[in-house]
Structure 1
């Protein structure tokens, strides 16, 4: 039986970690724009609820992203993203888009 050589991950974990950071930055910009919309003071009650929910969804995405960035920085060959974390990231992104529509309308 031949030994399987250990895979050299190269820069792939670093690129993935940077992608998570860019996505988190873009998500934060969207949350700040939502807060700026509130500062304008021309939102309905539903819009205010949408902004509050956007802040909660932003915190949820930040938590998922932080855990993933930390995992990518610890090991040379990080574990795969769990299905739950992937689902949470997608749900947060879709929810933020929905809340953005509610704020505009």
Structure 2
């Protein structure tokens, strides 16, 4: 039952589209991480390369945690609003992986 003067929320397909967007972003992030790891580990195995590969893997796991947490939240009938911390974490992981990918390619 709804309160007087308020309409029931009909989200339509928006939560599903958002879930799919998070999944696509996770896939793109995974591909970037795998390619960066592959390039970092093809070298001589220096401590710098191993450290870079470890950081790439750590950032990738952090992004997966953030993304899958949000995907689970979106499965609810009334998903909570994305918090600033989660959004900042996702952006930080994405930017860090992009920076690592660029440094590995150059």
TM-score (norm 2): 0.86
Aligned to 2:65: 63
Query: Which residues of structure 2 form unaligned runs of 5+?
Result: none
Aligned to 1:54: 56
Query: Which residues of structure 1 form unaligned runs of 5+?
Result: none
Aligned to 2:74: 72
Residue 52 of structure 1 and its aligned partner are, at CA, apart by 1.3
CA distance in 2, matches of 1:44, 1:102: 16
Aligned residues: 104
Instruction: Kindly indicate whether structure 1 or structure 2 has the higher relative contact order, using CA contacts under 8 Å at least 6 residues apart.
Output: 1
In the alignment, does 2:19 pair up with 1:17?
Answer: yes
Residue 54 of structure 1 and its aligned partner are, at CA, apart by 0.8
Change over 3 Å in CA distance of 1:102–1:43 after alignment to 2: farther
